[in-house]
Structure formats: structure tokens, C-alpha cells
Structure 1
């Protein structure tokens, strides 16, 4: 006789669990992430754009070899991660890349990282309160960055003066932008809400749609077809191949004097890209492209519009962003402001009001014609004898 034996499962270990996606460069990790993964990377002072990409990928934890906040400036990435509910551990050291292989099952519990039942790293778990405290200290030390910013701006202006002042070096696109509004979309914090807010504007004004890197995927997911896609050559943060093929123009940013091989990956996809030799960031290059082609208005989706966003840029891109905004001036409008300034949608009540006003105007015009008078007489109720006598009595009383 066989007796039923109840199997006892081992209790689940505390913390969050998931397969590791390991690479020192954040951009390389982002291209391989899936929901439930644990991102293991080395990113000093994580910016909000990278943090938003991690949140969008659905990771459950982020393990950083370097400090998330070094104190040099108030970067916004860590705050976004902890507010999204992710487990974040930083300052675990570069040794983690020797101890954890890509795809290994990881468990992150507090400030400890475990692989295969063994603790492989220990760092610092970030909480909302800790991030707020670190950010306060980073703001107080911001003045030390001003000298470096001034130097970088001067160097960028020296390198890109022909582009900034005269628009030299901008490739000629097949998409006509002169005199038309242009929407430049970046996949960043709040881009979904901003795209929804400008739907009436896009539907009625038919602007040129420009996607920046994964911003082209954002446009496609919102039901739009990007006319122009601007990407960085050699980047891992590229939009889907189908989106690139549907675009009328694909502009690839390369270093000055870069060989033709820089654009060969796009040619293998059947795309004939346009080279744009500049040291500006991809986002700024897209804005300068629209400006050089004399767009009537440029609407930025997911742009870095506030002072905090501006300071959160990579140090190499800070001068590019600052000088590009000065170049565009009033031609650039943030997408968040468009719904407050533009409401071109026709409401049903507007149609009903116009219809009623038209009918009343037509009736008044017809009523003064002989035919209209005849219709009025025919529609009027007959006058009875009692009514006739009443009218005669009233006439007799009146002088």
C-alpha cells in the first residue's frame, strides 16, 4: 500500500528575484531588458531619462556599481526609481561584474545582492528619505559646476559656431519643413501625457513628426508615423527597424570626419541614412534640424524644460542644450503648454448652435417675402366669431 506524501515547499526567500542583465554601460543594458529583470550597471549620477527607461522596461530592481548621487549636482534619476517602487542598491563596487554573469538568477534583499544562495555584493539601499537628503546636499554644492559649464559652453560654441549661427552642415531632408509646424518627440518622463495633450494640434495642423532615438517608437505606439527619425550612430538606444523603414528620412549623428562604416548598420536594413556631423546631443540636433529648415513652430515632447531637468543633463550635453535653446528662442514651445494655448477641436454644441442660428436666420428672411406671408397666414389659427366680437369691442373702447 502506498501512502500519500505531502511535499513541503521551501519558504520563499525575502527580497526581489529576477534574472540579471549585466553591462557597465546603461545603454547596453536597456536594449536587453524585459519585465521582471534585475538591471546591473555602472552609472554615476543617474539621470531621469535613463531611470525612466528602466521603469518603462519593467525591471524589479537596479543594482549600481557607482553611487546614484555623487553630490556634484541634483540628478533626478534616483528619485524617479524609488518613487516607482523599484528596489535600488548602489555603491556595490565594480567587483560585481566579475561575480555575476548575465542571465543569472539574482535576489536583492535590502542592501545585499545574492546569486545562487551566496551573497555577491553589498551596497546601500536607496529609500525616498535617503534620496531627499542626498539631493539636498547636491543642490548646495551646485555652484562648483558653474566654472566647468562656462568652459564647456565656450568650447561647444567654438566647435559648432557654423551650425548654431548659420545652419551649416545640416542635411537636406526629403521631408519639407519650411513654413510648417514640427513636433520633436523624445521618450522621456511624461511623454505619454504630453502626446495625448497635443492630439487636437497634430490632427488639425498636420505637423512634421520627428522622433529622437526611442522617441520614434513612442510616436509609433501613440498611432503616429514619424516623418523623420534622428539617431546617434553606434548607439544601442535605437528605435525598432520597422519604425526606421517607415520614416521618410533617417538622420544619423556621427563625429566629424567619421568613416562611412558609421552608417553601414542602417544600410544593411535597407535604409539610406543622412549623415549629420555634429557633437550636439541627439535631441538638440533634431531641434537644430527643424530650425535650419525654417519650421514655423517647434513643439517639444518629453523635452527637458525646467531648470531641474536642464541641470540633470549629462555633463557633455549641458552646453549643447543651453546654446540650442538660445538659438531657437521663441520658436520652441513645450508640449505641456500647447493644450493651454490651442484648442481647435469643434464641439457638438458648436455645431448645434451654428445650425440653430442658421435656421432662425433663414426663417426670418423667408417670412418677409410674399410666399412667407402666405405660409404664415396658412399656419395661423382661424379667428372665431367670439374672438371677432372681442376684437370689435376692444376697437370701440380705444380712441
Structure 2
């Protein structure tokens, strides 16, 4: 797997991360058992201390984007259950990775203190605090090969989860029972659902002409609302449990739909009300992106375009959640309305660089000048221009004298 272009363009292979020396990495540490919470406060050059079994690609991309100098994982980055993509991305980005240091690391280190990571050991001065397994390309390749060998077991579990979800949510999936009414008009319009997932920046950039022409309803799923704001758009609807979306997005004027548990509990509703707003509650078992798709479909959307969502089997497994079976079934329910924007940026990528265009224009101008200079008509024009230039100089000199 290659480092995504949006990230790889900002990395130089072989360059040490900020804070790295020949003796390891010395930098402040930021600790959190939830990787997505850690990345919100991680600064460039920090050592990230996480507890993430089977580190997924989206989390790894966030660590790279935030400029982590090193990653220390209390758990196993690749447990062997399935070939997850996160550790490979970190290693290819040149970020030192140490796994399996144990959960005690969170009791031994203090947020913000400067520590040294060297040879798989985290030091405070000369005192070792935690020891783990260094993950390099060879170690990741071996772990991934082992994980692929057991992939059939995960496929069976995925199929079982799919049938269980279908049994529990058949009324919602088949008849739309339980989908709430919303104020935003969707009937007969296009809906663009944005999840802060794979290649969402590139796909959003490629969809600018589409957004400008069709004016679709912009629906952000949790952090996808912030992705829309970063791209210069204001979301019309925000859907999710609101644990990874900013207050700025929640207060931008969008209609809010809280994804609640099936029993009606909605932890995100309290946060919305604390901000002085109200929200529609949508109880469902699946993921927030499933809720967004079903909401758009049941509200009469003519077409649903998805950015950053999960589309392939590799991505379903990489997410590492049994609930991803619901996304598979939701896509079947939405059917022909759904257009996945993933890969649009690669399909429409301009292969002509600006420098090549500039060189072409310069060469064309030079050809015109040479042709005009050497032709009989060019001689006449040169004589006329020279006469006008002499007349201008005579007039200008007269003004000065």
C-alpha cells in the first residue's frame, strides 16, 4: 500500500521526524486511549501514545497529518484478525512505531512531558518507562501476511453480523420505519454525504464543478461537517453521535440529526443542547453514515453522492467494527441512487502541469514573433513601429527640454 498522495506530497522519504536524532526521538508526549481524541490536540513533533488494536488507515492518516514524530501503541497495531492498513501507512511515512508497550504506559507518563523514544524503549532521562516491539517494514509485512491467512474467519464473522443486523433492523431497512422527518427539503434534489474518511479531500476538490452546478443538499457525517467547512462549504444537515465534530460546525446553522442507540439513548443530544440548539433524534443500530444514507433516501433524494465512505471489502474490514455489516446492507437498500465519489479525483486528474502549459504558451509566442520578424509583412510592421517609437521619443524629449 502506498502513502496517500495528499499526505505523501508533504513527506520526504528518509527524513527524520521533527525531534528525531541519531539516538532516537525526543519530544513531548500526548496520551489518549482514543486515537481520534488524541489527534485533536496532537502538535507537530509530538510523540503520540495510543491504545489502538488493529490501527485503521483513517486513524493513521490523522496521525501523519498532525505531524506525529513517533507513535507508541499500548496494544498490537496488527493483531492478526484481518489485514488492517494503519501501521503500513505510518511506516511508509517514516514515523517510528513501537507496539505492545502495555496499558501501564498511561499511568507512567505525563501529558506534555518531554521523553525519549529509542530502540523500542520510552525513557524519562535514563529511566525506562515502557518497552515494546519496533514496527518496521519487515515486521509489518510479516504481520500482514499472517493476518491475510486468517481472513476467511473474519469474512464468516462479517456475514454473521450482516444477518444479525438484517434480523434486528429489517423494518427500517425494508420499509423505512423509524426514519424521522426533517425540516430541510430533500425531495427531488441531489444529496452529497461527506464522511471524513478515505480520500475525502481529493474527492471534494474534484466535485467542486458538480456542487456549483447542481447545488446538492450538503450532509456532513460527524467530522465530515468540518471537512465541508474546511473546503469552503456550509453543511445543510449534520448527522452523527457528535463525538468527533467541532462546536463551530454544530453552530454553523445546519440542521442537526443525532444518531441515537436503538433504545433511544442519545449522548450527543446533551452536547447540542448545551450549545443552545435542538436536534432531531434518529435511533438506529448501524453507523452514522448508514443513518445519513437512509435519511436521504427516505426523504426522497433523487441521487446520493458519497464522499469518504466505505465501499470495498478491505475498507469494511479495516474499520474493524461489526457494525460495518450495516453499511453493506444500507448500500443495497439505497441501490441505484448511490454514486460513490471515491476515485473521482483520480479519474479526472489533470495530467498536464502548469509549467508545461506555460512553456507551450511561451513557445507559441516565440513562433509568432519569429514568423512576424522574418516575413515581408513583418518588415513593414517593424518599420511602422520603429517610426512610431521615434516619434514618441521625440515628443517625450521635447516635454523634458
Name the TM-score class by shorter chain. Answer: 0.7 to 0.9
User: Equivalent residues in 2 for 1:78-93 (5 A)?
Assistant: 78-93=87-102
Q: Following TM superposition, by how much is the alpha carbon of 1:150 offset from its aligned partner in structure 2, in angstroms?
A: 2.4
Equivalence for 2:279: 273
Deviation, structure 1 residue 133: 2.4
Alignment map for 1:38-187 (pairs within 5 Å) = 38-187=47-196
Query: Shift in Å at residue 272 of structure 1?
Result: 0.9
Give the aligned partner of residue 246 of structure 1: 252
Q: Structure 1's 133 and 201: CA in aligned 2 closer, same or farther, altered over 3 A?
A: same
Q: TM-score, normalised by structure 1?
A: 0.77
**1:213 corresponds to which of 217, 222, 225:** 222
SS in 2 for 1:184: strand
Corresponding residue to 2:45 among 13, 17, 36: 36
Give how far 1:230 is off: 1.2
Q: 1:125 to 1:295 in 2, by over 3 A?
A: same
- The CA distance in 2 between the partners of 1:34 and 1:166, in whole Å, is 47
Once the two structures are superposed, what CA deviation does each residue of 1:36-59 show, in whole Å capped at 9, x if it has no partner?
222211111111122122222222
2:23 is aligned to 14
1:275-324 deviations in whole A, cap 9, x for unaligned? Answer: 11112111221112111112111111112222311221222222112111
1:300 equivalenced with 2:306 (yes/no): yes
Structure 1 residue 195 displacement after superposition = 0.8
Give, in angstroms, the shift of residue 191 of structure 1: 1.2
Q: Partners of 2:197 and 2:126 in 1: how far apart?
A: 37
Q: 2:240·2:257 contact (CA, 8 Å) conserved in 1?
A: yes
- 1:233-265 per-position Cα deviation (integer Å, ceiling 9, x unaligned): 5x2x2x221221114211111112345765121
Partner Cα separation in structure 2 for residue 143 and residue 114 of structure 1:
41
Cα distance per residue 1:128-177 (max 9 Å; x no partner): 23222221221111011233222211221122112111112222222111
Aligned to 1:334, which of 334, 340, 347?
340
SS state of the match for residue 287, structure 1? Answer: helix
Contact 1:229-1:247 within 8 A present in 2 as well:
no
In the alignment, is residue 321 of structure 1 matched against residue 316 of structure 2?
A: no
Q: What pairs up with 1:380-399 in 2 under 5 angstroms?
A: none
Q: Check 1:259–1:150 CA distance in 2 against 1; reply closer, same or farther (3 A cut).
A: closer
RMSD of aligned alpha carbons: 2.3
Q: Give the gaps of 5 or more residues in structure 2.
A: 1-19, 350-401
Separation in 1, partners of 2:314, 2:124:
37
Partner of 1:209: helix, strand, or coil? strand
What is the TM-score with the length of structure 2 in the denominator? 0.77
- The residue that corresponds to 2:318 in the other structure is 312
Deviating more after overlay: 13-22 vs 157-166: 13-22
Structure 1: tracts of 5 or more residues without a match:
1-10, 344-399
Match of 2:251, SS state, is: helix
Contact 1:213 1:230 (8 Å CA) reproduced: yes
C-alpha change, 1:257 and 1:208, in structure 2 (3 Å) is same
Structure-2 separation of matches of 1:297 and 1:341: 20
The reply to whether residue 189 of structure 1 matches residue 198 of structure 2 is: yes
Tell me, in whole angstroms, the C-alpha distance in 2 between the residues paired with 1:240 and 1:339.
Answer: 26
Partner of 2:364: none
Deviation at 1:337, TM superposition (A): 5.2
Taking the aligned partners of 1:340 and 1:84, their CA distance within structure 2 comes to: 21
More off after superposition, 38-47 vs 144-153 = 144-153
Task: Report how many aligned residue pairs link the two structures.
Answer: 330
Structure showing greater Rg: 1
Per the alignment, residue 24 of structure 1 pairs with 33
In structure 2, C-alpha distance between the alignment counterparts of 1:244 and 1:267, rounded to whole Å: 11
Q: Do residues 263 (structure 1) and 272 (structure 2) align?
A: no
Distance 1:47-1:116 versus aligned 2 partners, 3 A rule:
same
Distance 1:57 1:206, change over 3 A: same
- Once residues 301 and 279 of structure 2 are traced to their aligned partners in structure 1, the CA distance between those partners, rounded to angstroms, is 21
Distance 1:326 1:59 in 2: 38
**In structure 2, how many angstroms separate the alpha carbons of the residues matched to 1:205 and 1:342?**
18
